Amino acid sequence: MDVLKEFLRHFGIAGDGRPRRVLGETTAAFARLPYENITKILKHAACGTPEEARRSPAEVLADHRAWGAGGTCFALTSTLLRLVRALGWRAEAILADRPYGPDTHCALVVWIEGVPHLLDPGYLIVDPLPLEPGGDRAFTTGRGRLVLSPDPAGERIGLGTIRGGTRTHRLTYKRVPVDRARFHRAWDASFGWEMMRYPLLVRATESGHVYVRGSMLQVTRGEATERSRVPEGEWAARVAAEFRMAPALLARALSILGERGGADGTAARR
């Protein structure tokens, strides 16, 4: 399957326009794929090994068309990287360290007019951000107010969130691109993470984002955030409505997690 052709057709993007415009429309459309570990939980349960459970770009996009699904940072980054390269741009994957471990997040860098730009679908950064020397740079995405903080050498870049005037460090990007083997090693390790024990979903909205962790549903609109607990019997239908995903997919993942003794991650690390 021609992954790029199918993506452009599905989202109604004309691929013969100016390259920069087509890139922008492609990355903006990609933001419609939610961050979710539902498909990761299901594929891993079906396959048994991380190597077999990795979802290909064709699979990620087919699942989105069929179920409204997306993926976690590795599946989303791998898919967006494939699309950006297919458009003719130079692009590479990078890894990032979270406070709880190295190589626990990923993103990609695309070179536009010789300048490296950051794209991070896991953090809803889908408008390419130039990675140029300098001080802190604040910007807004569906995840709220974010700030990039490069180190003096420019080899590492911190990402923080800002809410109510409080800044919280989230992760540190490593500027050096990684090859496929190292990217896959980090991806495979992610199948053993704590977040595979409970549902975790994020979707951008016009005014903010919707976030689900276990039974907790959080809706953010601008600076206002509402949190609620969703009863187990209502969970699949409620989350399906919020994320425009197939209820059967969500119910199946919840059943698998329940059999493993997981499902409620409200007390777990965000």
What CATH number is attached to the domain comprising 15?
3.30.2140.20
**In which band, very low, low, confident or very high, does the pLDDT at 164 lie, cut at 50, 70 and 90?**
confident
Domain containing 174: what range?
Answer: 3-263
Nearest to 121 by CA among 21, 210, 203, 10: 203
Give the tokens for residue 46. Answer: 């079906």
- 82 in any annotated domain: yes
Strand partners, 141: 144
Cα–Cα distance for residue pair 27/47, rounded to 1 Å: 30
Give the tokens for residue 264. Answer: 């409620």
pLDDT of residue 166: 87
pLDDT of residue 270: 34
Mean pLDDT within 113-125: 95
Cα–Cα distance for residue pair 74/54, rounded to 1 Å: 9
Cα–Cα distance for residue pair 60/65, rounded to 1 Å: 9
- 177 in any annotated domain: yes
Quick one: what percent of the chain has pLDDT higher than 90?
80
Cα–Cα distance for residue pair 159/27, rounded to 1 Å: 20
3-state secondary structure the chain: CCHHHHHHHHHCCCCCCCHHHHHHHHHHHHCCCCEECHHHHHHHHHHCCHHHHCCCHHHHHHHHHHHCCCECHHHHHHHHHHHHHHCCCCEEEEEEEECCEEEEEEEEEEEECCEEEEEEHHHCEEEEEECCCCCCEEEEECCEEEEEEECCCCCEEEEEEEECCEEEEEEEEECCCCCHHHHHHHHHHHCCCHHHHCCEEEEECCCEEEEEECCEEEEEECCEEEEEECCHHHHHHHHHHHHCCCHHHHHHHHHHHHHCCCCCCCCCCC
- 62 in any annotated domain: yes
Cα–Cα distance for residue pair 186/103, rounded to 1 Å: 6
For the ranges 12-26, 45-59, 145-159, which has the lowest average pLDDT? 145-159
pLDDT of residue 199: 97
- 71 in any annotated domain: yes
Q: Does residue 261 register a pLDDT over 80?
A: no
- 57 in any annotated domain: yes
Mean pLDDT within 20-26: 98
Sequence-distant (≥ 6) Cβ neighbours of residue 224 within 8 angstroms: none
- 268 in any annotated domain: no
Number of domains composing the chain:
1
- 223 in any annotated domain: yes
